Structure 1
Amino acid sequence: MPRLNTMPMGAFVLGVAGLVPFLGFAALSVSGTDGGFGMIGLSPRTILSAYGAVIASFLGGIRWGAAAARSAGNADYLLAVVPSLLAWAALAVPAPWDLRMLGGLVLLWGVIDQDLSRRGLAPPWMGKLRLILSAVAGVSLLVAA
């Protein structure tokens, strides 16, 4: 049985791989080129915004899953839906506020989720990984805004 403080390689590799769209589409957005996505009617900024909203929703799912696995209280379930609702709202606000809102949300959620490890709802490695991933993703969104 793996130790709880040893980060699984799959979590690390997939987490880092999940940063590629943030970094790539933020770079395209800042550079002003569309990377060929204009041919299909999309801009890198639009793709980045949609990806940021999907990942923000995923972050809420992490809390929901942790709460369900450890029989946490109702507050955790309520808190788990906040990222999805705020991400959905971010898709409705005009640029640059959409990416600013998503960037702030992802950064803030990396900090908020630190309580999962402290309370024993997630393994210790998860808090560290979440901070790093949230920092890179959140800053990418803010830079592209």
Structure 2
Amino acid sequence: MNTKVSTFIYCLGTTNSGDKNSPLNAMGVVPVLTPEFIPSTFSFSIVIGIQGIDDACNHTMDIIFKDSQENSLVEARNLSLPLEQLKNGDVELPQEYKGIMLGMDLRNVIMRYEGVYHTEVNFDGQKLGDFDIYVKAKQHV
């Protein structure tokens, strides 16, 4: 199976209607994270789309957000993706397009430095990628 990240977005928030087959909305898509000051805390969200998932078994994911010094700031490890979450209702898709869209809020993340931060995505123990974002303070004291 060729599992891959098909979508990755940094944004200010996400919403959905609660139905597992309803669209996920990303609000305030951002190319850079801009807390008022550094050091500071900052809240944001990520949207991750993964394709090529075998929907005949359960899976696990790790999502780790790291700073420019490679320190882990948020670790969501061993997230369970039960089989029923992977079913696409009545839509029968080719195996390479079967997947899931997830939204995750990261609240009050401590930002100590300006620079490139990144989110590491692992699926069933396999690293699927690192997704960079620049962090820049709006103001300097």
Shorter-chain TM-score bucket reads under 0.3
Structure (1/2) with the larger helix percentage: 1
Structure (1/2) with the larger strand percentage: 2
TM-score by length of 1: 0.27
TM-score by length of 2: 0.27
